[in-house]
Structure formats: structure tokens, C-alpha cells
Amino acid sequence: MYRPLPLLHHDTPHPGGRSALTCRYRCGDACFQEVPNTSANAYAGDVIADAVSRRAVVRGAAVLTVAAAVGVGAVTGAAPAVARPRHPGGGRRDGARGLRFTPVQPNTLDAVVVPPGYRQDIVIKWGDPLFPGVPDFDPDRQSARAQARQFGYNNDFLSLLPLPGEPGRQVMVANHEYTSEWLMFRGYDAENPTREQVETAWAAHGLSVVVVQEERGSGRLRPVLGHRLNRRVTASTPMRLTGPAAGAALLRTTADPSGTSVLGTFNNCAGGETPWGTTLHGEENINMYFAHAGRETDRRYGLPRGATERKWERFDERFDATREPNECHRFGWVVELDPYDPDSVPRKRTALGRFKHEGAQPRLTHDGRPVVYLGDDERFEYFYKFVSSKRMRKGRSRAAREHNLTLLDEGTLYVARLTGDSPGEVDGSGVHPQDGEFDGTGTWIPLATGDVSHVPGMTAEEVHVFTRLAADRVGATKMDRPEDVQPSPRTGRVYVALTNNSERGKPGRPGADEANPRHLNKHGQILELVEHGNDPARDTFVWRLFLVAGDPQDPATYFAGFPKDRVSPISCPDNITFDPHGHMWISTDGNNLGVNDGLFGVATHGERRGELKQFLTVPVGAETCGPVVQERRVLVAVQHPGETDGATAERPGSTWPEGPGTLVRPAVVVVWPEDGGRIGG
């Protein structure tokens, strides 16, 4: 029988398991607004005979209880609480190579908890200077000027890139998704923010490029202060709009009649790394920055009719839609950054469409053209891919780099439509169909190719600027919050993290389907997709659910058929990455099991496919972001620690990482085996 994990002090009634504060500051209380996708698009396709291979039987779920040690490092703050360890999650060190660690048990500690035999350290925190002469972080003397040269707030996506010619160094690129003013400023008055606070928040958004130095004999990383590549990109940094919608009337403003030049990027959530050495950054919940918006197109993107939470519109009229109605159209894109050129102008790639971009991960077609997979993170939204018409040039010559910086400007944007192969057998309970799997076939539906629209009644510019409306018209499949969409470099299979959807199956809302099989979906699922011929250029695919998340004792959960008495509980999968063995690592956002978020490793191929083990947990109120898994280290971004209901700078929900009396600070954490070996043995 399903018994939920004990609720400790995480009493979070908010959808997705997040606190009220997180809902408010990250996505403008999106879960309490009307669902923006009210389109009549209710596609239900015919069963296509070309079905995926299936497993006949879902294996049983006998339950064992094995206590596993919990490795706690750098603990500060509140009294610890560890959930009763009745989830062994393997409970031993004999998993697939690369996953041989003792799983961390679910807990509510105000700490980063790692497996026994591993060590951890902070790489960099919010407010740490990137350049000489910049003041150290001082909670009572924050300024926009200092913040623009310090590490930003709420680190999310992370990338670690090679730095040729400088042994032992790597280039770290980080997103700073949003600011939590209540926790940043003591005495913050939300109705009357000061100009300095607002401009500090502008500077705390955006991106950071920081060169990091490896410590000999450990996995530790230290920032290199003042390295020539160190850079901050903020909500005020000049950027260029490129691709088919650049210059469109919909993108022109008083300050920029050309429609090609824009200031800043914000709400950068996840991202990606290109094979040509740049990084991609998704602009996600951009709706919450623009006040007084009322057009139908604004509503489809969830823009508010009234004032915004942060009141930026009082300090720059571009954030007031009655003054500058097109400014909001200049956000919601994927930004491409060249971290090897600190003077380069970041580009917003309009060919990849405008929506609430979670991330953007490319791979190459057989003939060398990039394909970028894209998720639109909101309930009942869609996932997409972009296929470039141009081939990548190899090498680091100037000509090759300049050519490769045009690859994401020309190509075709598609949206996914999925069809289940067990029609009539999905009732919203999560019970598997008789064929043993939630699975089926799918099609990538073209929306636009450059200046050519494939959507009746919309121009190509409209398709790119109002991509959600274009996808409505072609019958795309409404998903349970598509977050990361990541191809496995080992197998070529593409994984779609669907984090949760509290509205699925409610009256007046879409019901369950085979790809989104649970009503009131609290825990999410991960879909595995294989394009025909394993060719990313193809427009047809087969798919199945790889993981149906939750407490393994819940009969509705599924771990690719692996025995459920040997896996860790998981809720709300969000970001995905792959390690050098080809195993998938999953970070979570909003744990509906009443415990802290975490990072999990899972085998996607071989005998242990589906064996999922928790590698770490993050402090109270935090989300695990930006995972990077290298051979000898794991990097995570601890985002919005302490963002619990009612928390303020004076009454924090967490005092991580520096302990009582300090401001809670989002930070990047590195973890490595203390014996100097490899992650996961």
C-alpha cells in the first residue's frame, strides 16, 4: 500500500512542492494563475502501427528496509532531520560502474548531504567578486555597481568547458535565474523597493563566466580572480537579436527602432553546450518582469495585467507594456554566448522560437548540422526541436568560429505531437496498460523555416515571436511541464523531463494521456524518445516513459522495469545531464515527498537500466540545479536555499552555507571522492 514519506517541516501546499516565496519570485505564481494554454488544441491521434519495443511485465515491488549511512558535510544552521531510511535505493556500493556509491537517504537537513566517502566544498557564492578591486560581499552594503562585478543570485544552469593552454583550469559558465529580494535585502519593503535595490537585482540576474582552478589531488575548484575570460552579463548588457524575426516590427521599440538590439537577459533557467564551444541559455519566466499587459498574445505567455512583483516598471518604462508593448517580445528566447571572447555580444536566436525556454541542448545530424532540443516549462505546454540548415565547421579558426555563430539562425523549428499505442487504457491512475508500457509514436511538426511559415494564418515572424500560438494551431501535445530535453551522447536517445502538473485531469483541463498518464501529477515523469534511424534530422520517432517518479512504494511509479525495492524515491525531475559512462543524472525541483531536493544517477542502458540512486541532497528550501558530472567531480548549483514560506532576510528558512547570523546565499558546490578516485567507482 502507498504510504507517503513523513512530512517534516516542509509543509508545502504549493503545487510542485515549492514554497510560496519561490512561486512568487521565480515564476510570478504561475500555478495560481489561469493556465495560459486554453487553446482548443486537444489532439488525439490514431494509433500508428509502428510501435516501440515493449516490456511485457512490470516487475513487482517488494520492499526491503536497509539503513544506509548519511554523509553530511559543511553542516550549518537548523537542527537536522533525516527521514526514516526505509528506502534503501540500492543501499550498497555495487551498482553499475559510475553509480557505485551508497545512496543518500531522503532528509530535511539544512546542508548539502553527500554519500559516505565523498567530500564537498563551495566553489563560489552569490556576491563573491570575479575581479580584483571588487568589494567582498557585504549584506548591508550591497550596490548595483559591486553586484555587476560579483557572482549573481540564484545560480541555475552550469557548464564546465575546457581551457586549452592553461592546464588544470576550466571555464565555468552559470545562469542566474532570478532574484529573491526578501532574502537578499534586510528590511525589504516589497511595495517600495529603492532604485539601488532594483538596479542591484538587474545586476544579480544574467550570466557569469568564471575560470576555475583545479586543486591537485582533489576535485576542489577555486575561482581565478580577474582571469581575462571572467565576465558578468546582466539584465542591462547589450545583446543582438538574430535570425528570422530580427528586425520585425513586433520587436521594435522606442529605444531600438531597428528591432535588433536589446538590453539584457533574465530568468535564465537551464541551457546547453554547443559542439562549437559556445553556451546556450534559456529565458524562461519572462512574463513576470512586464507590467500592465493585456493583449491576447500577452495572456498566452502569462503576462500580468497589473503591476509586477519587483516593480521594475517604476524605474525603467521598458518594463511597462503600456509604454513599450514590444519590449516583452524581446525576451523569451535562447541566448548564445561565446565564453571564450569576453568582448562578444550575446545573441538571442529567434529561429529557436519564443516561449518559456527551460534549456537548449544541441547535437549534430549525421551530416553535421546542429539540432537543438527545447522545452517550454509550463503546465500543458509543448516541447520542440530546431534543425539547422547549415553544417558546423570543425576547428577553432576565426573563419570557423564566425561561421558557427550563424548556425542557429537558419533552419526549421518543429513541435512534438505524441500518440499512445494503448488507446482507452489510460485512466489517470498511473496503472500501466496491458502492453506493459506507456509508449507510442510521435511526429515533429514543422512550424517555420526561416521566412517561410508552415502554420496557416501566421507569418513566419509571428510563428517565431508567438510560437506557443503556432504550436496550438498544429495540434501539438500538451505535456506536464517540459523541462530539460537532452539527447544521450552514448545512445542517441532523447530524454524529456516532465516535472509535474497539478492541473492534469481537473475539471475543464486536459485529462491523462499515455505520455502524461497521471491525474493531479505531483511527481512527474521522464520520457525517452528515439528518432527513426537514430537520426536527429528525421521527423518521426517512437517514445516510452523511462521513469514515472514518486515514492517507489507507490504502485503508479516505474523505473524502466528495474526492481523498485532497489531504487531511491524521486519527485519532480527537472534538469538532466550525462556522465562519461553514459548514465543519466537528474536534479529535482520541488519535492512532493516532503523532503529536500536532490541529485540522482540512473543507468539508461545495460542490465541495470532504471537503477536510480540518490547522490546528494540540497539544503532547506533549495532546488538542485545545473548538474555537471565529470569523471572525478560533480558540480551542482544550489538555488534559492531558504526560500520557505514566510522566510525573510531576518527570519531565514536556511542559514546555509555560512551559518546563523549570515544571509543565506545561493552557491555552486563541488563534490569528489575523498580517495581521489572516480565518481561512482
Position among 98, 433, 482, 573 found at the interface with Ca ion (CB under 5 A)? 433
Q: What are phi and psi of 347, to 5 degrees?
A: -115, 135
Q: Assess contact for 70 and 107: CB atoms under 8 A.
A: yes
**Cis peptide bond prior to 370, omega within 30° of 0:** no
Alpha carbon distance 668, 159 (integer Å):
11
Per rule CB under 6 A, is residue 643 in the interface with ligand FEO? no
Give the residue with the Cβ less far from Ca ion, 142 or 502.
502
CA 82 – CA 260 distance, rounded (Å):
52
Residue 58: Cβ within 10 Å count:
15
Contact predicate 373/360, CB 8 Å: yes
CA distances, 334 to each of 108, 319, 372 (Å) = 35, 20, 10
Say which entry of ligand FEO, Ca ion, none residue 479 contacts (CB below 5 to 8 A, set by partner kind).
none
How many positions of this chain bind ligand FEO (CB under 6 A)? Answer: 7
Residue with cell 525541483: 589
Closest to ligand FEO by CB, 26 or 417: 26
Residue 439 binds which one of ligand FEO, Ca ion, none, with CB within 5 to 8 A depending on kind? Ca ion
- Least distance in Å: CB of 359 to ligand FEO? 8
**C-alpha separations of 629 from 577, 672, 678, 679 in Å:** 7, 10, 11, 8
Residues 6+ apart with CB under 8 A from 408: 243, 334, 336, 347, 349, 351, 352, 370, 372, 386, 388
- Residue selected from 121, 358, 439, 461 as contacting ligand FEO according to rule CB under 6 A: 358
By CB under 6 A, the residues from 578 to 617 that bind ligand FEO are 589
Among 422, 486, 614, 639, interactor with Ca ion by CB under 5 A: 422
Measured CA to CA, the distance from residue 213 to residue 225 in angstroms comes to: 10
Q: Which stretch binds Ca ion (CB under 5 A): 58-66, 113-121, 343-351, 573-581?
A: 573-581
Find the binder of ligand FEO among 377, 439, 462, 531 (CB under 6 A): 377
40 or 49: CB nearest Ca ion:
49
DSSP letters along 13-52, please?
Answer: -SGGG--HHHHHHHHSSGGGSPPS--------PPPPS-PP
Of the listed pieces 57-65, 82-90, 387-395, 435-443, which binds Ca ion according to CB under 5 A? 435-443
Type and span of the H or E element at 146: helix 144-147
Q: Is 269 in the site for ligand FEO (CB under 6 A)?
A: yes
* Residue 97 · residue 175 · CB < 8 Å: no
Q: Given the complex with ligand FEO, which of 144 and 416 has the nearer CB atom?
A: 416
The one segment of 92-100, 110-118, 221-229, 438-446 that binds Ca ion by CB under 5 A: 438-446
Give the 3-state DSSP-derived string for 148-186, with helices as H, strands as E and coil as C: CCECCCCEEEEEEEECCCCCCEEEEEEEECCCCHHHHCC
Residue number with CB closer to ligand FEO (462 or 484): 484
| 119-178 residues near ligand FEO, rule: CB under 6 A | 177
Q: Is 442 helix (H, G, I), strand (E, B) or coil?
A: strand
Instruction: Return the number of the residue (110 or 177) whose C-beta is nearest ligand FEO.
Output: 177
Q: According to CB under 6 A, which one of 437, 461, 483, 551 is a site residue for ligand FEO?
A: 483
Pick what 422 binds: Ca ion, ligand FEO, none; C-beta below 5 to 8 Å, kind-dependent.
Ca ion
Binding mask 268-287 for Ca ion (x = CB under 5 A): -x------------------
Partner in contact with 421, chosen from Ca ion, ligand FEO, none, beta carbon below 5 to 8 Å by kind: Ca ion
CB of 574 to ligand FEO, least distance (A): 6
Of the pair 471, 572, the CB lying nearest ligand FEO is at 572
Question: How many whole angstroms separate alpha carbon 440 and alpha carbon 420?
Answer: 4
The whole-angstrom separation of Cα 28 and Cα 266 is 14
Options 159-167, 252-260, 263-271, 635-643: segment touching Ca ion (CB under 5 A): 263-271
Q: Kindly list the residues in this chain that would bind Ca ion in the complex (CB under 5 A).
A: 269, 421-422, 433, 435, 437, 439, 574
Q: Kindly list the residues in this chain that would bind ligand FEO in the complex (CB under 6 A).
A: 177, 269, 284, 358, 377, 483, 589
